[in-house]
């Protein structure tokens, strides 16, 4: 089989991920492997797409190889998807799969992003391999890679294939014009609206205008298309110790002094390719100059999204997951799918209320699970990621369960006592009463406070 490996890592041949594909190539000389360093050469392919087009036409199986960057694929792969679709090369019926390496931090949303775009292209998509960064160095990881490839080749002949996502019905997008009256600016808060709104994107521009009119505080717009990015994140870890990016385009200062100083954040974009234009993904990835530090923790965020958001389940997970992991209060998402003006007013009110009252909510699985992965990663890599390690220590993120000595001994004692048959009989039916006792005290205390008032 003719297999095209699209190496979307910006590190090119030095990519950890692509070595899994190289390992499989070494084991299977009966298959013809072709490697293209699309991540490293994305700028050149923007000028001349012909080499990629020729390789795609020749391939029977396209294997996307990339590291997971900030919930999805790297900016370079986002840009590649745009180039493939813009070129119009026919990939209908070709097989597609993927290999990623990460610490399993939202690898599921990265895989779904690639799957959804491959389904758009009419490809037969086969579930990929999501490996830990160090899996290939272990016998089990090598076995997993071999089994993945065996299953991949078998599935090319027999299936199953990934079910295409539900598409929005083919209806004309409603035209939206700004019309909300400007509210008095009574609140001394600073809201930054980060967008990649293009000139022709009238709906999104109108949504931003009406949202700003509805806000009871001043706001400012930062358009990412106007920032001269030197390129996407290189994954070089040059910023791990100093916090300074190796690029000299000034993005790290721009991020910290122009955006992160705000009291509230609004992200505004139009859906394309199941996310948005790659300029926003470049912004996402380049924020790695902050490492894994939740530097905007406690600040509320909101989204203005133009497009069929209700049909983009993976995007909805990313939006919620970002807020949860970052410790940001998600005020909501306003779209242009229904009653846009009402949604914009409501969202402006919610953001204002959240800023005024410093609202928080406990993290759900997206936030708790994501931060536990980061917690363990930074603890192990503290010698390299010194700024992250210092931040995690200062903010109590190292909440390892083995530190809960009192709780552990309490559970051991309870287990030892309940192992005695006579105590088991006495405790029967009373366990739940004992468990809720402390909670009842909290409720009683609240009643007492209320009665005193």
- 3-class secondary structure for 255-283? HHHHHCCCCEEEEEEECECCECCHHHHHH
Averaged pLDDT, 111-132: 97
Q: Looking at residue 452, what is its pLDDT? A: 84
- List Cα–Cα distances, 272 to 4, 69, 135, 251, 277, in angstroms: 25, 18, 33, 24, 6
Residues 172-200, mean pLDDT to the nearest whole number:
92
- Of 299, 297, 298, 303, residue with least CA distance to 347: 303
Q: Quick one: what percent of the chain has pLDDT higher than 70?
A: 100
Helices and strands per DSSP (H, E), number in the chain? 17, 11
Contact criterion met (CB below 8 Å) for 274 and 116: yes
Closest CA to 33 of 50, 15, 19, 47: 19
106: how many CB neighbours lie within 10 A of its CB?
A: 23
Domain-wise residue ranges, the chain: 2-158, 187-365, 404-452
Alpha helices, DSSP H, located in 297-420? 313-326, 340-357, 365-380, 386-394, 405-418
User: Please, which pLDDT band fits residue 24 given cuts at 50, 70 and 90?
Assistant: very high
CA distance 363 to 369: 9
**Stretch among 176-185, 280-289, 353-362, 410-419 having the lowest mean pLDDT:** 410-419
The pLDDT, as a whole number, for residue 242 is 75
CA neighbor of 78 nearest in space, from 282, 235, 247: 282
The share of the chain scoring above pLDDT 90, in percent, equals: 81
Task: Pick the range with the lowest mean pLDDT from 93-102, 304-313, 378-387.
Answer: 378-387
Query: What is the tens place of the pLDDT at every residue in 305-346?
Result: 999 999 999 999 999 999 999 999 999 999 999 899 999 999
Quick one: pLDDT at residue 307?
A: 95
Q: State the pLDDT confidence band at 350, using cuts at 50, 70 and 90.
A: very high
Which residues sit opposite 446 in a β-bridge? none
| Residues 6 or more apart whose Cβ sits within 8 Å of residue 253 | none
For the segment(s) 187-365, the CATH number from 3.40.50.360, 3.40.50.300, 3.40.1280.10, 3.10.129.10 is 3.40.50.360
What residues contact 98, with CB distance under 8 A and at least 6 apart? 63, 64, 65, 66, 111, 114, 115, 128, 129
Q: Decide if 2-158 and 187-365 have a common fold.
A: yes
| CATH, domain range 2-158 | 3.40.50.360
- Sign for the CA dihedral angle at 32, 38, 41, 47 comes to positive
Please tell me the predicted confidence (pLDDT) of residue 82.
98
C-alpha count within 13 angstroms, C-beta hemisphere, residue 278: 18
Average pLDDT (189-195) is 97
CB 227 within 8 A of CB 251: yes
- Band the pLDDT of 78: cuts 50, 70, 90: very high
Nearest 5°: the CA angle 279, 285, 291 is 155
Question: CA 9, CA 99: separation in Å to the nearest integer?
Answer: 11
pTM above 0.85, yes or no: yes
Residue 354 has pLDDT above 90, yes or no: yes
Cβ proximity of 128 and 161 under 8 Å: no
| Four-residue CA torsion sign, 393, 394, 400, 404 | positive
d(CA 349, CA 187): 12
Q: Which residue has the tokens 């709104």?
A: 197
Gap between the Cα atoms of 449 and 444, Å rounded = 9
- What whole-number distance in Å separates Cα of residue 207 and Cα of residue 177? 8
């Amino acid at each position: 089989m003719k297999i095209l490996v699209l190496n979307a890592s910006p590190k090119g041949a030095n990519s950890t991920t692509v070595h899994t594909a190289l390992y499989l190539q070494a084991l299977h000389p009966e298959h013809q492997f072709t490697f293209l360093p699309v991540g490293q050469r994305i700028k050149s392919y923007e000028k001349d797409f012909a080499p990629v087009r020729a390789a795609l036409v020749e391939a029977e199986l396209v294997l996307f190889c990339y590291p997971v960057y900030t919930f999805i694929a790297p900016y370079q792969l986002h840009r590649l998807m745009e180039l493939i679709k813009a070129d119009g090369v026919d990939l209908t019926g070709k097989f597609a799969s993927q290999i990623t390496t990460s610490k399993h931090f939202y690898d599921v949303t990265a895989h779904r992003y690639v799957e959804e775009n491959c389904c758009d292209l009419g490809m037969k998509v086969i579930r990929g391999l999501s490996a830990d960064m160090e899996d290939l160095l272990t016998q089990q990881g090598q076995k997993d890679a071999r089994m993945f490839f065996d299953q991949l080749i078998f599935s090319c002949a027999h299936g199953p294939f990934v079910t295409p996502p539900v598409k929005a019905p083919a209806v004309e997008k409603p035209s939206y014009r700004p019309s909300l009256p400007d509210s008095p600016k009574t609140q001394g808060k600073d809201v930054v609206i980060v967008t990649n709104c293009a000139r022709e994107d009238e709906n999104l521009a109108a949504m931003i205008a009406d949202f700003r009119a509805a806000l009871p505080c001043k706001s400012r717009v930062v358009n990412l298309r106007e920032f001269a990015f030197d390129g996407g994140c290189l994954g070089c870890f040059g910023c791990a110790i100093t916090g300074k990016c190796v690029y000299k385009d000034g993005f790290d200062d721009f991020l910290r002094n122009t955006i992160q100083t705000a009291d509230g954040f609004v992200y505004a974009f139009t859906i394309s390719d199941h996310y948005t234009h790659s300029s926003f993904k470049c912004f996402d990835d380049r924020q790695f100059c902050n490492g894994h530090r939740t530097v905007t923790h406690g600040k509320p965020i909101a989204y203005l999204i133009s497009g069929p958001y209700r049909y983009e389940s993976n995007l909805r997970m990313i939006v919620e997951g970002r807020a949860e992991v970052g410790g940001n209060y998600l005020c909501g998402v306003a779209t242009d799918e229904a009653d846009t003006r009402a949604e914009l007013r409501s969202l402006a009110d919610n953001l204002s209320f959240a800023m005024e009252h410093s609202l928080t909510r406990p993290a759900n699985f997206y936030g708790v699970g994501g931060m536990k992965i980061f917690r363990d990663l930074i603890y192990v890599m503290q010698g390299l990621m010194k700024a992250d390690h210092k931040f995690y220590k200062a903010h109590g993120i190292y909440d390892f369960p083995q530190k809960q000595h009192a709780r552990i001994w309490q559970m051991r004692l309870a287990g030892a006592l309940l192992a005695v048959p006579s105590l088991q009989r006495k405790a029967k039916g009373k366990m739940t009463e004992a468990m809720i006792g402390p909670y009842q005290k909290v409720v009683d205390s609240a009643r007492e406070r209320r009665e005193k008032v």
